[in-house]
Structure 1
Amino acid sequence: MKSHLKVHYFQHIAGEGFGSCHDFLKQQNAQISATEFFALPIDQTLDLEALPHVEDVDLLIIMGGTMSVNDEANFPWLKIEKRWLRRYLALGKPAIGLCLGGQLIANALGGAVSRNPQQELGWTTVRKVTNVPLECFELPENFKVMQWHSETFEIPRGAVLLAENDVCRNQMYQIGSNVLGFQFHPEITPEVLDLFLENDEEVAIFTGNHVQPVNELRKSAKSKFIQGNQILNQAIEYVLRKTAC
């Protein structure tokens, strides 16, 4: 990694923070900054110039959120965020999108985001897609990760599908060598999961055969979080290495 790496993240809900990759990036002496969209008044119009200059960001990480990427009427800053994303990605700069973040990148580039036939909440197994080009990001054949979503993204034009499962086919994609979009939450830590579970209203909207009971999730062993965290760290290293001058 380059010295004095400037990492910026987009945060959409309070308390989520950076998840597991915060410590990883701090170990690399990264300078970390954030745009906290959740702190903006609902009726406030966000100006594009209020966001960082794209040239000043070496790595963008887009976090999850409880809103839909399509809900621009209630969250008008979504429109500005997508405009900024298109400007940033046009420069070929590295970006990681996590859950809502992966949906935002896909949507900003023309991919539809819509309701998935079934909701996913809890620990599920995801598998690597067969016949992925050799130069793409390498994943384990099967891995268990945290899911927390009702919607799914369409793979943007020119992207490669990397991972899938039977409940929600599009689990991870790659664009060029600089963008990785996740539907699941590789950044989840025990502390972040506890914060998610405190939102009773959010948890209550999830039902179905692929929704794990809250009492089981609260007992999640720390070992369950490790593989997803490692995949995310490797993803960060990958996009930075592939886009290094």
Structure 2
Amino acid sequence: MKSHLKVHYFQHIAGEGFGSCYEFLKQHQAKITATEFFALPVDQALDLEALPHVEDVDLLIIMGGTMSVNDEANFPWLKIEKRWLRRYLALGKPAIGLCLGGQLIANALGGAVSRNAQQELGWTTIRKVANVPHDCFKLPEEFKVMQWHSETFEIPKGAVLLAENDACRNQMYQIGQNVLGFQFHPEITPEVLDLFLENDEEVAFFSGTHVQPVHDLRKSAKNKFIEGNQILNQAIEYVLRKNAY
């Protein structure tokens, strides 16, 4: 990883921030900037030129959010964000998409995002998909991570499915060697989870066999967060190393 890496992140809800990878990136002297879409007035049009020049970003990290990628009527900046993404990805530059971020990349590249049969909220087990190409990002055979989603992405054309589980088949994908899209939240920390759980209105919309009670989530042991955090750090190193950043 080169020094003074220019990292930009797209943030869709207040308080989420970078999660676990912030300290990892700061250790490598990364210069971190952000676009805070949530701070824009809902009725304000966003011009594409208000976003960074794609050439000025070495690594893009797209965070999660409570909205749907399809809700452009209520969040008009989604259309501009997807247009910018297409420009950025057309240059073959490194990108990481987390939950809504993974859905946004898939959708910007023509993949549908729709309601999943099961909602997922809480700690779940993910399986590595068998027989992926040998040069793809390496995952453990099984690992536990935090889920928080109602929708699922279609794997975009040319992408490789990397991980799955029984509740939601498409859990992680790879495009080339520069893009990794996650359905789950590897960046989650105890502090970020507390912020998520404070949003009682959102939690109230979740139900089903793959939704854990809030009082159980509040008691999550700190060591539960480590595996996902490590996978995210390794994912960042992978897309940067493979693209000589």
With structure 2 as the length reference, what TM-score do the two structures score?
A: 1.00
Instruction: State the identity %.
Output: 89
CA distance in 1, matches of 2:25, 2:193: 20
Are 1:168 and 2:168 matched, yes or no?
Answer: yes
Residue 194 of structure 2: aligned partner: 194
Residue 155 of structure 1: aligned partner: 155
Mapping of residues 95-174 of structure 1, within 5 Å: 95-174=95-174
Deviating above 2 A after TM superposition, structure 1's stretches of 4 or more consecutive aligned residues are none
CA distance in 1, matches of 2:84, 2:166: 33
One-letter amino acid of the structure 1 residue matched with residue 232 of structure 2: L
CA distance in 1, matches of 2:81, 2:244: 25
Secondary structure of residue in 2 paired with 1:163: strand
* Per-residue Cα deviation, 1:130-186 (whole angstroms, up to 9, x for no partner): 001000000000000000000000000000000000000000000000000000000
CA distance in 2, matches of 1:118, 1:144: 18
Residue 230 of structure 1: aligned partner: 230
CA distance in 2, matches of 1:143, 1:100: 20
Deviation at 1:13, TM superposition (A): 0.1
Residue 240 of structure 1: aligned partner: 240
Secondary structure of residue in 1 paired with 2:9: strand
CA distance in 2, matches of 1:242, 1:206: 38
One-letter amino acid of the structure 2 residue matched with residue 211 of structure 1: V
Deviation at 1:199, TM superposition (A): 0.2
Secondary structure of residue in 1 paired with 2:117: strand
Residue 63 of structure 1: aligned partner: 63
Secondary structure of residue in 1 paired with 2:116: strand
Mapping of residues 33-52 of structure 1, within 5 Å: 33-52=33-52
CA distance in 2, matches of 1:182, 1:208: 22
RMSD (Å) for aligned C-alpha atoms: 0.5
One-letter amino acid of the structure 1 residue matched with residue 206 of structure 2: F
CA distance in 2, matches of 1:215, 1:132: 38
Q: Which runs of 5+ in 1 are unaligned?
A: none
One-letter amino acid of the structure 2 residue matched with residue 70 of structure 1: N
Deviation at 1:82, TM superposition (A): 0.1
Q: Which runs of 5+ in 2 are unaligned?
A: none
* Per-residue Cα deviation, 1:67-115 (whole angstroms, up to 9, x for no partner): 0000000000000000000000000000000000000000000000000
Deviation at 1:3, TM superposition (A): 1.4
- What count of residue pairs does the alignment treat as equivalent? 245
One-letter amino acid of the structure 1 residue matched with residue 214 of structure 2: V
CA distance in 1, matches of 2:202, 2:240: 34
With structure 1 as the length reference, what TM-score do the two structures score?
A: 1.00
* Per-residue Cα deviation, 1:23-76 (whole angstroms, up to 9, x for no partner): 000000000000000000000000000000000000000000000000000000
